[in-house]
Structure 1
Amino acid sequence: MKTKRIDINEVKPTAYKPIFDLYNDLKKSTLSTLAFLLIQIRASQINGCAYCVQSHIKEAVQQGEKQYRIHALSTWRESPFFTEEEQIILEMTEEITNISTHGLSEKLYQKAIKLFEEEEIADIIMGICCINVWNRIGRATLMEPIPSQD
């Protein structure tokens, strides 16, 4: 049985401000809305954050993302539905989310630097970091997904 945990926003409302500032900056960055949502969904799947998975899938559908791509996201390496750019973003998401395993490999970094400008790589890395912060908050405080009214 889960016990109720604190709501950080109630206990310390200012704690979220820098994370929201980063999130809002990323929404205006070189990352497309779709690329940022793919990062958010994939990292949330890896981290097991049900709240964020549900929230970002709902947002992706509202933004016009195709259901078949969302369903294939956890098996993107075996799927023909993702562009080369998206595959690199997803691989970076996995390596950075699992940073203690290997870090961001030199091989992947070199692939990325050939395909993306430096500012784009910075935005990808910061997007991955941002959702990982939210996932850790969600998991630590046992945030539960809210059923969709759709």
Structure 2
Amino acid sequence: MWEETNYFSEKECAVLKFTDVLTRLERQPISDSVFNPLLEHFTKAEIAQLTLAISQINTWTRLMKTFGFTPGNFRVENN
């Protein structure tokens, strides 16, 4: 797990923690202990962009799991 290594900077750890929280989709709002470290490295506009990127990647992952896509093997079918 990323928390168990010292290979990541504080900035990277803040994003990884934020990614974990967004991916789990718990019912409560994002806590200050997760959000405030982001503010040390990013503007609110950048955090919004990170949120959209993380959300989009999570959507792609859920689509892949649902439909069993194999990465790199997409083919357009003509009907």
Normalising by structure 1, report the TM-score. Answer: 0.44
Distance 1:96 1:137 in 2: 17
| SS of match in other structure, 1:80 | coil
Q: Is 1:138 aligned to 2:64, yes or no?
A: yes
User: Identity over aligned residues, as a percent?
Assistant: 26
Kindly indicate whether the alpha-carbon contact (under 8 Å) linking 1:97 and 1:132 is maintained by their aligned counterparts in 2: yes
Q: 1:88 aligns with which of 3, 11, 14?
A: 14
Q: Which residue matches 1:77?
A: 3
Distance 2:30 2:61 in 1: 19
Q: Count residues in correspondence.
A: 73
| Cα deviation 1:56-80 (Å, max 9, x = unaligned) | xxxxxxxxxxxxxxxxxxx111111
Q: Is 1:97 aligned to 2:9, yes or no?
A: no
| Cα deviation 1:25-51 (Å, max 9, x = unaligned) | xxxxxxxxxxxxxxxxxxxxxxxxxxx
Note the C-alpha offset of 1:102. Answer: 4.5
Distance 2:23 2:9 in 1: 21
Letter matched to residue 98 of structure 1? R
Q: Which has the higher contact order (CA 8 A, sep 6+)?
A: 1
Can you give the 5+ residue segments of structure 1 that lack an aligned partner in the other structure?
Answer: 1-74
Letter matched to residue 92 of structure 1? F
Q: Which 4+ residue blocks in structure 1 deviate beyond 3 angstroms?
A: none
Q: Is 1:115 aligned to 2:41, yes or no?
A: yes
User: Equivalent residues in 2 for 1:1-150 (5 A)?
Assistant: 75-100=1-26, 102-146=28-72
Distance 1:87 1:121 in 2: 14
Kindly indicate whether the alpha-carbon contact (under 8 Å) linking 1:95 and 1:105 is maintained by their aligned counterparts in 2: no
Letter matched to residue 128 of structure 1? I
The structure carrying a bigger helix percent of its residues is 1
Note the C-alpha offset of 1:97. Answer: 0.4
Distance 2:23 2:57 in 1: 9
| Cα deviation 1:77-99 (Å, max 9, x = unaligned) | 11111111110110000000001
